[in-house]
Structure 1
């Protein structure tokens, strides 16, 4: 419940929405897209709801290199319309069917929830975000997550260059928020014969619900990139050790840091084995 809520406003443009959001008289304000964050929110500070419905669009456009999502696209629509099996697998773990039907891309990224399965998956795919913060901006999702500055997200671009991927989530029950999640994706230019000689041209490994927001594990990714499948198999143990340290996990009310580290080790091994044994 928003106990101090005073106004509900429906602006006619993104520029007007941002002006309302930044108006000190109406602050603190909250953007409303699918309504999920508002339905679950308990706070005593929010004074203004800024309804973005109708402003962001709900289309998914496919180009030869990427999918471009309007901010109003629902998670359920991403699963149906984006032909990236790894992403479909990851998004199927987001809450319940009702939550996936309500949750929007702009709302999910805008909230920057630390446990978000969507953020971990999109970060692995090297997504970029377009938005408005007084002027139009475009930046990598990784930089957006690190920056923490507010941004009204209007579009998300998802590259299609990664051919293999695996996503893992640990939670109390399947529809609950993650205690830890992890993604591994590969780009492979061609499969060798025998398969063990196939080279991983690009690798991205990401980890979320650490309990901090999702991050890229660059050293772990580099430990895989450029290697053949057989070399990755040989180096699984040191790669797991790098990931456990680089993930910078910590303890929470649910689990200890040591338990999260073990999850990282396990999921990195499972993910790499799955991708090199396909």
Structure 2
């Protein structure tokens, strides 16, 4: 159970940053995942009054405010058009519509949760995060560092022409995923992100995959097994490590097959 003694609605990013330097204070985002924990928060910092809940599109990128809801991300026409429904596929299985209306993109990314469909999918794209003091940082670097007291302002997805496919496995429809896998391709470069291992998602890139339209099933399988083996897999109450490892190979292979024009599975 989480208890909050006081809530402060920040009037600026500078105020939010200054408040957040005290470890007794916490930025609460949408407060959907955090409330599932067990802690006492002396002072919660609310960013909802700073206009950070929008998605801006330019010719080069999408800039997603940290307070943008997962539902808004799921339904955004421009993002769905650009990535052929890839992000919608990653997001629409998270709990339910009511939950996704409250959960925020910033909270999902900043939390670096092992089960995060959002983190897995965005890692496979050319994604950066904008930090108030730290500036713009590639997401693949951001996930490797421990959370600090900076403020995540926005998530930036570049329009670099990648095609992407997303897969996940759940024991029940609204449960946390057993495994998540995202595959993206740009030319001969392949990006593979695997999460819910049960640790947080990681990314592997191959600039010389040798894969292209017409690649054989054996070539795709060989690459899928190589990509799978770049990650570690553990066991928890939802699945064993060996099962997760097997699923990762299956879903990476299916994703690549789709992207190369094969049958969608």
TM-score by length of 1: 0.85
Q: Counterpart of 1:42?
A: 37
Partner Cα distance (2:118, 2:108) in 1 = 8
TM-score by length of 2: 0.89
1:89 aligns with 2:76: no
Q: Counterpart of 1:208?
A: 195
Of 46, 52, 61, the match for 1:57: 52
- What stretches of structure 1 move > 6 A for 4+ residues in a row? none
Task: Judge conservation of contact 2:29–2:47 (CA < 8 Å) in 1.
Answer: yes
Partner Cα distance (1:50, 1:111) in 2 = 15
| Larger Cα-atom Rg | 1
Partner Cα distance (1:104, 1:184) in 2 = 23
Q: Looking at secondary structure, tell me which structure has more strand per residue.
A: 2
Q: Looking at secondary structure, tell me which structure has more helix per residue.
A: 1
Aligned CA RMSD, in angstroms, stands at 1.9
1:157-187 deviations in whole A, cap 9, x for unaligned? 1122244221111112222211110001122
1:77 aligns with 2:72: yes
Q: Counterpart of 1:192?
A: none
Gap runs ≥5 in structure 2:
none
1:244-269 deviations in whole A, cap 9, x for unaligned? 32121112222111111100111011
Residue 17 of structure 1, CA deviation: 1.2
Partner Cα distance (2:216, 2:145) in 1 = 33
Partner Cα distance (2:147, 2:28) in 1 = 18
Q: What SS does the corresponding residue of 1:231 show, helix, strand or coil?
A: coil
- The within-5 A match list for 1:260-275 is 260-275=244-259
The structure-2 alpha-carbon separation of the partners of 1:77 and 1:44, relative to structure 1 and needing over 3 Å to count, comes to closer
What is the aligned length? 256
